[in-house]
């Protein structure tokens, strides 16, 4: 696939099919560049447009998109993934199990069909970097839409122990209970966001903390040490403060972009852009 940052932009005509990515904020997203590289390589006459939509405007935005005949679907990211299941007309079993949606296809009659691909994208990104999840003790920061998808994917990939840390512990506990129902042999627990990270093999930030330079750290970097794997879902900046601190302490670091790169073809296929 062409490199997304160096390839020329899409050529738009009256026949070009439209897709979108909905987020708040929107400036950090990398999906348009990566999707357009895929479109060029596959000969797709399509363009994916960034759409800055606040949570209070999400419902009416989606209602408006239903009426666009040349609109194929959209990707939902922070903070919309958890709200999307109730706004779709149909969701896949995986999305229902996770309780979040990050990719939606618009059918010809305006119906919206959602799925969730963050989990498989994250796990395959780690595997592509040479990290095997089987048998690892994992600390997952966050309990929102992306975190839920990643939690289920980590459980399915054979993690030995999974602790979900969140500012609202009840939310982490609810996610842990859902995972325990599906994976009864997995040791899964909920914790507060100040859970010490040093006892884990893999530490994952699945929150939005790190998008802004003045954000607090999602975990205490002083509890990290050599040999641990520290992974992000944030794509911009490429090196978040957490990854910089982890690298300085001898950790293996894994940036957020591979999660998108591994699921971009699945997204395009779900939206009907490629067969």
Active-site annotation, residues: 81
CA 123 – CA 49 distance, rounded (Å): 27
- The distance from CA 229 to its chain's CA centroid, rounded to whole angstroms, is 18
- The distance from CA 102 to its chain's CA centroid, rounded to whole angstroms, is 7
Among 45, 236, 41, 208, residue whose Cα is nearest residue 141: 208
Pairing mode of beta strands 46-52, 90-91 = unpaired
Using alpha carbons, list the distances in angstroms from residue 80 to 62, 146, 188. 12, 10, 26
DSSP per-residue codes, the chain:
---TTTSPPPPP-TTPEEEEEEESS-TT--HHHHHHHHHHHHT--EEEEEEE--GGGHHHHHHHHHT-TTEEEEEE-TTSTTTHHHHSSEE-HHHHHHT--SEEEEPTTS-EEEE--HHHHHHHHHHHTT---TT-EEEEE--SHHHHHHHHHHHHTT-SEEEEEESSHHHHHHHHHHHHHH-TTSEEEEEETT---TT-SEEEE-SSTTSSTTPPPSS-GGG--TT-EEEE---SSSS-HHHHHHHHTT-EEE-SHHHHHHHHHHHHHHTTS--
């Amino acid at each position: 696939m062409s490199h997304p940052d160096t390839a020329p932009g899409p050529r738009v005509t009256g026949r070009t099919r439209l897709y979108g990515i909905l987020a708040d904020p929107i400036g950090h997203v990398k999906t348009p560049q990566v999707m357009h590289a895929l479109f060029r390589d596959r000969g797709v006459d399509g363009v994916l447009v960034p759409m800055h939509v606040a949570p209070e405007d999400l419902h009416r935005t989606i209602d408006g998109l239903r009426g666009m005949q040349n609109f194929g679907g959209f990707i939902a990211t922070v903070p919309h993934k958890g709200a999307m299941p109730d706004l779709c007309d149909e969701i896949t079993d995986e999305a229902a199990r996770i309780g979040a949606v990050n990719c939606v296809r618009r059918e010809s009659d305006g119906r919206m069909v959602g799925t969730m691909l963050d989990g498989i994208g994250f796990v395959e990104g780690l595997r592509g970097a040479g990290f095997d999840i089987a048998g690892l003790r994992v600390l997952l920061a966050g309990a929102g839409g992306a975190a839920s998808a990643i939690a289920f994917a980590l459980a399915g990939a054979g993690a030995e122990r999974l602790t979900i840390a969140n500012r609202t512990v009840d939310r982490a506990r609810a996610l842990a209970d859902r995972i325990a129902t599906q994976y009864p042999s997995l040791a899964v627990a909920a914790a507060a966001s100040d859970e010490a990270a040093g006892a884990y093999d893999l530490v994952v930030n699945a929150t939005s903390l790190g998008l802004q330079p003045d954000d607090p750290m999602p975990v205490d970097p002083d509890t990290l040490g050599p040999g641990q794997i520290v992974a992000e879902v944030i794509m911009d900046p490429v090196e978040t403060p957490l990854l910089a601190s982890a690298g300085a302490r001898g950790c293996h670091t894994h940036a957020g972009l591979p999660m998108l790169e591994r699921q971009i073809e699945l997204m395009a296929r779900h939206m009907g852009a490629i067969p």
